Amino acid sequence: MSPSEAKTLDQFVWDAHFHHLKKALQIPVSLQIWRKYWKAIRQDCRGYWHGATGLIAERLNIKAEEWEQMIKLHQAGRAACLGDSSHDYSYLVEKAGNNFREGVV
The domain of 53 spans 3-101
Whether the full predicted model's pTM is greater than 0.85, yes or no, is no
pLDDT of residue 41: 94
Per-residue pLDDT reduced to its tens digit, 59-68: 999 999 998 8
**88 in Cβ contact with 55 (< 8 Å):** no
Quote the CA–CA distance of 2 and 81 in Å, as a whole number: 38
Neighbours of 42 (CB within 10 A): 15
Which CA distances in Å does 40 have to 9, 35, 55, 71? 12, 9, 12, 24
What is the pLDDT of the chain when averaged over all its residues? 83
The total of structural domains in the chain comes to 1
pLDDT of residue 105: 41
Q: Is the pLDDT of residue 104 over 50?
A: no
